[in-house]
């Protein structure tokens, strides 16, 4: 039996569409995103995303900063995947300056970046459950496990949110002695947390009814809109920069790239859930192979001057391709600094994904793109 949206073909009464302003102060907009939706009853006829409320000049400000000071600004672009964004920046500087980071620091970076991917996806599941109408339950469950990892990050970096820990050539300081034991503890916690979330959300009949076949994307559409990350992989394309263009030491680990089939909202959930498991695998392998040794490359100057040139470095952040384009003129500051935010590109497809759906579905679709407004507006 074909299900169709319940829209009468002919109307007896003349109706008018009304514009509803969702955001920037709205529980479902994940920050200060605003969208003007034109609704005809419950059906969204048009959608106009309005961004820029969080613009802080995060691309221009670093052009007046030392190469190492810029790390802090990358914490603030994607505040849910700080280690991933820092990773991108330090890799870019190393690529440009020909700096080879030490082995141990590379392992530390990968472990922390993968754990950060897990915290980001946990945050997604919490927020998505709230969008879907769970009265905060998914949020509290996801945050319980996220908190363990967050505390671990705090032990290492001394910060809860803006870690500022990676450095060109290595990391700022060595990890505590009980690093491996703590990591294993946390992985156990996360495993049980993932199965909790799976029981709460993935198998839930209401989630199944709401999310499956909602707003499917084809791989062609996804490529045309420049989608990346879980949104792209949910359409069935196994494109992951960790595999397609390995950076750091990702070529040494075995992991699968989870993909969906139809690219609907449910596939996006599943892909993120499986990615957490894959991240656990990577962390386990990295912990096994992690060598002792120095954490900072030899001969790093106090003031870092990288040779003139330009570079585009991209990493796989939890939201997709996070890239940074740097031009150096040989002085101690970047001449041009441009960020390619995954959220910004993913949100551009929102209108295409949403028009014609119900108001309630648009909230779910927006939630499933997992945007971080700081990364969109920069």
Q: Does 355 bind another protein (CB under 8 A)?
A: yes
Instruction: Return d(Cα 76, Cα 374) in angstroms, integer.
Output: 7
The nearer residue to another protein, 18 or 331, going by C-beta atoms, is 18
- Tell me which of 64, 195, 213, 224 binds another protein, using CB under 8 A: 213
Residue 336 binds another protein (CB under 8 A): no
Where does this chain touch another protein (CB under 8 A) — which range of 163-171, 196-204, 220-228, 233-241?
A: 196-204
Per the CB < 8 A criterion, the answer to whether 40 and 15 are in contact is yes
5 binds another protein per the rule CB under 8 A? yes
Binder among 100, 161, 209, 244 for another protein (CB under 8 A): 209
CA gap 26, 22 in Å, rounded = 6
- The answer to whether 206 contacts another protein (rule: CB under 8 A) is yes
Does residue 156 belong to the site contacting another protein (CB under 8 A)?
no
Rounded least distance, CB 68 to another protein, Å: 40
**66 part of the interface to another protein, by CB under 8 A:** no
Smallest separation (angstroms) from another protein to the CB of 155: 23
Greatest Cα pair distance in the chain: 79
For 194, counting Cβ atoms within 10 Å of its Cβ (0-12 exposed, 13-18 middle, 19+ buried), the class is buried
For residues 73 and 141, which CB has a smaller minimum distance to another protein in the complex?
141
Q: Smaller CB distance to another protein: residue 100 or 208?
A: 208
214 binds another protein (CB under 8 A): yes
Q: What are phi and psi of 254, to 5 degrees?
A: -95, 125
The reply on whether position 135 binds another protein by CB under 8 A is yes
Contact criterion met (CB below 8 Å) for 23 and 47: no
For the record, the structure tokens of 248 come out as: 């750091």
DSSP secondary structure code for residue 378 in this structure: -
Tell me which of 161, 208, 308, 331 binds another protein, using CB under 8 A. 208
Q: What is the DSSP letter of 159?
A: -
Residue whose C-alpha is closest to residue 129's, from 191, 48, 210, 244: 210
- 350 with 324: CB under 8 angstroms? no
What residues contact 195, with CB distance under 8 A and at least 6 apart?
Answer: none
277 near another protein (CB under 8 A): no
Using CB under 8 A, list all residues that contact another protein. 2-7, 17-21, 26-28, 36, 38-43, 45-46, 48, 50, 129-137, 139-141, 144, 200-201, 204-210, 212-216, 262, 264, 354-361, 363
């Amino acid at each position: 039996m074909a299900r169709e949206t319940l829209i009468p073909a002919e109307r007896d009464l003349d109706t008018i569409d009304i514009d509803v302003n969702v955001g920037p102060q709205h529980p479902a907009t994940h920050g200060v995103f605003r969208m003007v939706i034109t609704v005809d009853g419950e059906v969204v006829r048009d959608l106009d995303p309005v961004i820029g409320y969080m613009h802080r000049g995060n691309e221009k400000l670093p052009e007046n900063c030392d190469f190492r000071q810029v790390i802090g600004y990358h914490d603030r672009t994607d505040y849910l995947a700080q280690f991933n964004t820092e990773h991108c920046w330090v890799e870019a500087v190393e690529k440009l300056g020909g700096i080879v980071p030490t082995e141990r620091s590379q392992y530390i970076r990968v472990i922390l970046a993968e754990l950060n991917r897990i915290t980001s996806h946990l945050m997604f599941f919490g927020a998505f459950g709230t969008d879907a109408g769970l009265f905060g339950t998914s949020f509290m469950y996801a945050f319980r496990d996220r908190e363990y990892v967050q505390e671990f990050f705090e032990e290492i970096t001394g910060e809860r949110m803006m870690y500022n820990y990676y450095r060109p050539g290595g990391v700022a300081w060595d990890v505590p002695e009980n690093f491996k034991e703590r990591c294993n503890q946390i992985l156990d916690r996360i495993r049980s947390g993932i199965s909790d979330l799976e029981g709460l959300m993935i198998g839930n009949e209401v989630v199944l009814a709401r999310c499956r076949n909602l707003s499917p994307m084809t791989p062609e559409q996804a490529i045309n809109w420049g989608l990346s990350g879980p949104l792209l992989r949910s359409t069935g394309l196994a494109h992951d920069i960790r595999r397609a263009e390995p950076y750091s030491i990702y070529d040494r680990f075995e992991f699968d790239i989870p993909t969906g089939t139809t690219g609907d909202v449910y596939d996006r959930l599943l892909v993120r859930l499986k990615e957490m498991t894959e991240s656990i695998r990577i962390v386990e392998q990295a912990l096994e192979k992690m060598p002792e040794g120095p954490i900072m490359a030899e001969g790093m100057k106090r003031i870092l001057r990288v040779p003139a040139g330009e570079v585009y470095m991209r990493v796989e952040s939890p939201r997709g391709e996070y890239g940074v384009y740097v031009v150096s003129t040989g002085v101690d500051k970047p001449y041009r600094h441009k960020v390619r935010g995954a959220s910004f590109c993913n949100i551009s497809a929102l209108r295409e994904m949403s028009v014609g759906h119900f108001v309630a579905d648009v909230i779910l679709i927006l939630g499933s793109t997992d945007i971080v407004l700081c990364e969109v507006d920069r």
